[in-house]
C-alpha cells in the first residue's frame, strides 16, 4: 500500500517536472535542477530518490519587473522557489515551498566609469524566506520564517579566493514557525526512541510537537570543488554539506550530512553523476537514518 | 551606458566567482562560471551576479528591463547586447 502510494507520488513528481521543464524551456532562465538516484536505505530497501529544485525570478513568472530594491551600498531581491525530495520505499522525503530573498551589503567601485558593487572586497548576504515545509505524506506541515547570514570572502590580489574559503560556504540561520498536524495520532508514522538509527526513513523523528510553535537555530557548511580534475572528457569533483539544527524550544539537536563524488559530463557543469551518502533527512522529519546511492542530476 | 562599459562590469563581477583557471573574456559563457549550487538558497553566485548587474544598471540610470530567456547560456557580449537593447 505504502509502496503503491510512493510510486504514485513519484509519478506526480515526474509529471510536475515535465510541466515545469516545458514552461522553463518556453519562458525562463533555466530554473530547474532534477536528480534521480537509486538508493539503499537503512532498511536495505532498494529505492528511487527523486530531487527537484525549482526557482524562478518573479519577472519570468509574471512578466513584470522583478522586486529589486537598490540602495547606495545594498540591495534586496525576492524570488519564489520549490525544493522537493521524495522517493519510493522508505526514502527520505521533504517538500519546501518558499518565497525567498536576499538582502546584500557591499562596497562599491568604478569600472568603465560605472559605479558597481566591489565583490572582491568581500560582501555579506542575508537570506530571508517565508514558506512551508512538509513530507510526501502531507501529514505534517510547518509554516516557517527564516533569516540568515552567509558571508562571502575577499579575494587575494591575484584573483584567487583565499584557500580554503574558495570552495567552502558557511551559513547561519534562525527559523521560527508553527507545526500543523493533519492526521490522527494513531495514523502517524512514529519511531521508537530506542531504535532511532534504524527507523523508517519517512518517519517524523523530530521532538517538535504537532500544533505547536517552532524555534530553531541552524548552521550550515558546504563545500563544492566543482570540476577539480579532468580525466578524459569527465570532470571529477567533491561535494559535501553539513547542516545542524538546534531545536531551541525542545533543547534537541538534528543534523543532515551528505557527501558525494561528482562526475561532470559537460563543460558547463550542468550534467553530473553522483555517488553519494546522506545521513539524516533534515526538515521537516529530521529522520536520523541514512541513504547511499548514485544518480544523475541535470540543470535545465 | 555603452555595450563595452556593461561588458567590462560583467567581466569584473564574473571574476569574483571564477574558481577555475578559465580566463574571463567577452566570449565567456555565464554557465561556465555561475551556479545555483554554490551557496545556500538564493545566496548563490547565479542570483547574486544577476542582482549586482541589475543594481549597476539602476544606479547608473539605466532601465531595469526583464532579462532574456536562458541568459545563463549567453556569453558576456551577447547578454550585454540583449540587456541594453531589450524592448
Supply the angle between the helices B45-59 and B3-17 in degrees, to the nearest 10: 150
Is the CB of residue B5 less than 8 Å away from at least one CB of chain A? yes
Q: For CA atoms A137, A143, A149, A150, give the dihedral sign.
A: positive
Q: pLDDT at position B79, please?
A: 95
What is the least distance, in Å, from the CA of B52 to any CA of chain A?
Answer: 7
Provide the grid cell at A285. 522529519
Q: How many residues does chain B have?
A: 87
Q: pLDDT at position A23, please?
A: 43
Q: Confidence band (pLDDT; 50, 70, 90) for A1?
A: very low
Neighboring chain A residues of B16 at a CB cutoff of 8 Å? 119-120, 155
Is the CB of residue B67 less than 8 Å away from at least one CB of chain A? yes
Rounded CA-CA distance B65/B87 in Å is: 8
Q: Are B52 and A75 in contact (CB under 8 A)?
A: yes
Query: Looking at the predicted complex, does its ipTM rise above 0.85?
Result: yes
Report domain extents, chain B. Answer: 3-85
Round the average pLDDT of chain A to a whole number and report it.
74
The average pLDDT across B61-75 equals 86
Q: Which residues have C-beta within 8 Å of that of residue B61, sequence separation ≥ 6?
A: none
Provide the grid cell at A59. 519577472
Provide the grid cell at A128. 530571508
Rounded CA-CA distance A161/B18 in Å is: 9
Among A283, A278, A120, which residue's Cα sits nearest to residue B17? Answer: A120
Q: Confidence band (pLDDT; 50, 70, 90) for B5?
A: very high
B-contacting residues in A 44-103 (Cβ below 8 Å): 53, 55, 57, 59-60, 63, 65-66, 68, 70, 75, 77, 79, 81, 98, 100-102
Is the CB of residue B86 less than 8 Å away from at least one CB of chain A? no
Neighboring chain B residues of A262 at a CB cutoff of 8 Å? none
The model's pLDDT over A121-137, given as tens digits with 9 standing for 90+, comes to 889 999 998 888 777 66
Q: Which residues have C-beta within 8 Å of that of residue A53, sequence separation ≥ 6?
A: A32, A33, A81, A82, A83, B36
Burial readout B13-37 (b: 16 or more C-beta within 10 A, e: otherwise): bbebbbbeeeebeeebbbbbbbbbb
Model-level pTM greater than 0.80? no
Range among A204-213, A242-251, B17-26 with highest mean pLDDT value: A242-251
Q: pLDDT at position A59, please?
A: 45
Q: pLDDT at position B61, please?
A: 92
The model's pLDDT over A85-131, given as tens digits with 9 standing for 90+, comes to 666 655 666 777 778 888 999 999 999 899 999 998 889 999 998 88
**Omega of the bond prior to A284 within 30 degrees of 0, cis?**
yes
Amino acid at each position: 500500500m505504502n509502496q503503491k502510494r510512493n510510486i504514485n507520488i513519484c509519478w506526480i513528481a515526474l509529471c510536475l517536472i515535465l510541466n515545469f521543464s516545458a514552461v522553463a524551456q518556453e519562458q525562463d532562465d533555466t530554473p530547474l535542477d532534477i536528480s534521480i538516484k537509486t538508493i539503499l536505505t537503512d532498511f536495505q530497501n532498494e529505492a528511487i530518490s527523486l530531487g527537484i529544485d525549482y526557482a524562478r525570478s518573479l519577472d519570468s513568472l509574471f512578466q513584470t519587473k522583478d522586486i529589486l530594491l537598490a540602495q547606495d551600498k545594498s540591495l534586496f531581491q525576492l524570488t519564489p522557489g520549490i525544493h522537493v525530495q521524495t522517493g519510493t520505499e522508505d526514502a527520505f522525503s521533504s517538500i519546501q515551498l518558499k518565497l525567498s530573498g536576499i538582502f546584500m551589503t557591499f562596497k562599491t567601485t568604478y569600472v568603465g566609469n560605472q559605479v558597481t558593487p566591489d565583490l572582491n572586497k568581500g560582501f555579506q548576504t542575508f537570506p530571508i524566506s517565508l514558506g512551508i515545509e512538509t513530507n510526501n505524506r502531507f501529514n505534517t506541515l510547518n509554516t516557517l520564517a527564516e533569516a540568515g547570514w552567509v558571508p562571502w570572502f575577499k579575494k587575494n590580489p591575484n584573483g584567487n579566493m583565499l584557500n580554503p574559503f574558495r570552495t567552502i560556504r558557511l551559513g547561519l540561520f534562525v527559523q521560527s514557525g508553527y507545526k500543523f498536524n493533519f492526521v490522527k495520532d494513531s495514523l502517524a508514522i512514529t519511531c521508537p526512541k530506542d531504535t532511532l538509527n534504524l527507523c523508517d526513513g519517512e518517519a517524523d523523528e523530530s521532538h517538535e510537537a504537532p500544533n505547536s510553535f517552532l524555534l530553531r537555530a541552524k548552521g550550515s557548511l558546504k563545500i563544492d570543488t566543482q570540476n577539480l580534475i579532468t580525466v578524459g572528457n569527465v570532470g571529477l569533483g567533491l561535494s559535501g554539506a553539513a547542516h545542524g539544527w538546534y531545536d531551541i524550544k525542545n533543547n534537541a539537536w538534528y543534523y543532515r550530512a551528505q557527501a558525494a563524488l561528482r562526475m561532470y559530463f559537460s563543460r558547463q557543469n550542468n550534467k553530473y553523476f553522483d555517488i553519494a551518502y546522506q545521513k539524516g533527512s533534515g526538515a521537516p522529519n529530521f529522520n536520523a537514518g541514512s541513504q547511499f546511492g548514485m544518480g544523475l542530476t541535470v540543470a535545465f | 551606458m555603452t555595450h563595452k562599459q556593461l561588458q567590462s562590469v560583467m567581466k569584473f563581477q564574473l571574476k569574483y566567482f571564477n574558481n577555475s583557471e578559465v580566463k574571463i573574456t567577452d566570449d565567456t559563457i555565464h554557465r561556465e562560471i555561475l551556479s545555483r549550487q554554490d551557496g545556500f538558497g538564493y545566496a548563490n553566485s547565479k542570483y547574486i551576479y544577476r542582482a549586482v548587474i541589475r543594481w549597476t544598471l539602476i544606479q547608473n540610470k539605466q532601465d531595469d528591463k526583464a532579462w532574456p530567456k536562458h541568459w545563463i547560456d549567453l556569453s558576456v557580449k551577447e547578454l550585454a547586447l540583449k540587456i541594453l537593447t531589450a524592448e
